[in-house]
A = this chain, B = another copy of it.
């Protein structure tokens, strides 16, 4: 199979972790007789530095022409201290989501048996956790009208959702639930927000099309609690953009394996795969960043974008093996044991595929 992949390494440790994901993907392609063409393109702070905008048109064209996008991380401290600066890397992210129509962000949280003790939660609370958030990614308060009035003394952000936007996200939620334990939780704040009431009534109306799926409706504040108390009581959760931003990040730390969590953003055009961690600027160039979240994102890409399940499983298996054998970067290395470099982990994975 010919796989045409856009490669957006981004900023900070992005290029380093992407590099290892490319190595592992190429090795898998060789093993399974595929041919990958990687097309690199600029995004984030490095794009601002090079061409003045964080998501250049050329990058968008590369993404649109590709079968999938593999993304590293963006963000640089020089843009951090002033969130009102006219050009920021995050704007590139939002523009990319909008222009690629990436309306669903798929964020799994699961545990690795060998890493459970890294969790801030007690073992009995976290064991067996295996949940997936579907976060709406191109609507809500992120993209509504925003601005100032009264000479700058009043600020506003409008949160807007249409029934069609809710339906297309919820449809993915129901479909995902059908492939798992048939449990779907719709997270909203329907006791206060009109947009949440639209979410809830839309999902309720869709229940009849998926009679096997058991749907629950929970308020966002209650979910923020239960995620810490009984994370393994959840399976598939669907929610709007801002709630999803907060809850998926909360969920990511409970597993103790944040440096390993992959994600996908899917929608109308090319799908995008990326680690959930950030650009970790302090570690840039040190060859110490953990590449596994990016490598596991590549596995998601093989399975979901190309339907290549065996290839994905082969990557996951070798990642598990590396964890069990302690071939890990310093964030995961047990006290007193050797910490491997980013590139050494990639090399080991390639050698052990």
Chain A positions within 8 Å of B, measured between CB atoms, are 83-84, 88, 90, 94, 120-122, 125, 141-142, 144, 146-148, 150, 152-164, 189-198, 200-201, 220-222, 224-225, 227-229, 242-243, 245-247, 249-250, 252-254, 258
Q: Among the listed B156, B190, B249, B254, which residue makes an inter-chain contact with A158, where contact means beta carbons less than 8 Å apart?
A: B156
Contact A88 B247 (CB under 8 A): no
- The CA-CA distance from A3 to B252 in the complex, in Å, is 48
Least Cβ–Cβ distance between A35 and chain B, in angstroms: 39
The number of times this chain is found in the oligomer is 2
Contact A156 B148 (CB under 8 A): no
Contacting residues, chain B, for A189 (C-beta < 8 A)? 242, 245
Contacting residues, chain B, for A200 (C-beta < 8 A)? 83-84
Known: A121-B122, A194-B147, A194-B156. A246 touches B220 (CB 8 A): yes
Known: A144-B156, A154-B198, A156-B194. 16 other contacts (CB 8 A): A83-B200, A84-B190, A84-B197, A120-B229, A121-B228, A141-B159, A153-B162, A156-B158, A156-B160, A156-B161, A158-B159, A159-B159, A221-B246, A222-B249, A228-B254, A246-B246
- The CA-CA distance from A189 to B246 in the complex, in Å, is 10
- The CA-CA distance from A159 to B122 in the complex, in Å, is 38
